[in-house]
Structure 1
Amino acid sequence: MFVRTTEVQADPARVDDGIAVVSNEIFPAVSEMDGCVGMSLLVNRESGRAIATTAWQSEEAMMATADKVMPLRSRAEESLDSSGSEVHQWEVAVVHRDHATPQGACARLTWLSGDPTTADQAIDTYRMAVLPRLREMDGFCSASLMIDRDAGRVVGTVVFDSREAMDATRGDARTIRERVATELGATVDRVDEMEMAFAHLHVPEMA
């Protein structure tokens, strides 16, 4: 499984407009493309940062849609009053769901970079050391790990039932990522805490 992420810096006042366009226009169009297995949208209403993710059955299916999604991306940027976006493609390495994503769910995304040769070690560490800790957290909903083997980048996403649940885990999350970064010799590039505005990803369990 593979995913394409599109990161957009929006006008905070236009976030709801962007959510409506993704839900009513972009998601139906993307869903009709061969190999698509869903879409999600994360937003930070205060900063205006938004991350749209589309999931694909194979790398070939993802690559075949690169040109087709460009007009849709432009439409999303327009609705969010953004001048551009940053696009990345990832391999899905780990997915685990405890239960369906409820209304009001929030997610914490942790972006790390390091030696590309440690990708498999990062996956094993996430499965054996990180995921068990996440599953014990109150309000845990789901978790995933995506990797870019060539660039030596990974992003881990953990979804919680509510913002309150996410906020309560902030200290534990910091301890976990600092330990993992040290073990892997990686750098924590960014941590995002965002609202799950739209959740229709249908990636199968890969824990």
Structure 2
Amino acid sequence: MFVRTIYVTGDPEQIETAVRALNSEGRELLEERPGYRGAGVFVDRELGKLLGVSWWDSEKARHNSDEVMREHRPAMLRPFAGTLAVENFEAVVYHAVGVPRAGGGLRVTRVEFDPADARIFADTFRSAVLPRLEEMHGLATAGLFLDRERGTGQVGALFTDRASMAASRAAQAAVRHDTAAKVRVDVVGLEEFEVVHADVRPG
């Protein structure tokens, strides 16, 4: 599958307006597009950050949907959005062990790597990282998103509740350390979000 992420920052007091728009008009627009496989909305209400993720069964479906969504995003995100960044990835790994639910937690690890190492990174994630993530209490889903050409990516670990996410911090820190020792991967960002909505239907 393929994913598009939108990363939005703005006034924390206005974030609920964007959440409501994305969960109503935004979801309706996405569901009308061919190749749609699900979406998620994640927030940091204290700092004023919103992460939106949509899932697609092909690069073409993702691209075609973006032509429509690009026209509607400014109005949906107003007056919250101060900055907006859009990124596209391949969902190299998506593994579900539980059911995501509102109020849960999402930890996103942003990484950079040599594009030539994309395959070994993905193989290492499947063989060495994923089994250790599965052992963490409350894990619902884990995924690896890569932009093979740019050498950027995201590791997502979604937990059924925020207490489980907090309790996993030390264990996942150890996983990051061990992975960096095996593969040339630089961690360039680490963030946590509250789950507002998460629904993915793998193809």
Asked if these proteins are the same fold (TM beyond 0.5), I'd say yes
Q: Give CA-to-partner distance per residue, 1:22-49, whole Å, 9 cap, x none.
A: 1111001111011111111111111111
Q: Which runs of 5+ in 2 are unaligned?
A: none
TM-score by length of 1: 0.93
Separation (CA, whole Å) in 2 of partners of 1:130 and 1:7: 25
Q: Give CA-to-partner distance per residue, 1:9-67, whole Å, 9 cap, x none.
A: 02111222221111111001111011111111111111111111111110011112222
Task: Please give the residue correspondences for 1:1-207 in structure 2 after superposition, counting only pairs within 5 Å.
Answer: 1-79=1-79, 81-204=80-203
Separation (CA, whole Å) in 1 of partners of 2:23 and 2:65: 19
Q: Give CA-to-partner distance per residue, 1:45-99, whole Å, 9 cap, x none.
A: 11111111111110011112222111222123214x2133111000011111112
Separation (CA, whole Å) in 2 of partners of 1:28 and 1:199: 15
Contact 2:30 2:65 in 1 (8 A): no
Structure richer in strand, relative to its length? 2
SS at match of 1:104: coil
Separation (CA, whole Å) in 1 of partners of 2:30 and 2:139: 29
Root mean square deviation, CA, Å: 1.2
SS at match of 1:46: coil
Deviates more, 1:110-119 or 1:181-190: 181-190
Separation (CA, whole Å) in 2 of partners of 1:183 and 1:45: 35
Q: Which runs of 5+ in 1 are unaligned?
A: none
Q: How many residues align?
A: 203
Contact 2:43 2:194 in 1 (8 A): yes
Q: Give CA-to-partner distance per residue, 1:80-127, whole Å, 9 cap, x none.
A: x21331110000111111121123211111111010011111111111
Separation (CA, whole Å) in 2 of partners of 1:203 and 1:55: 9
Separation (CA, whole Å) in 2 of partners of 1:185 and 1:56: 29
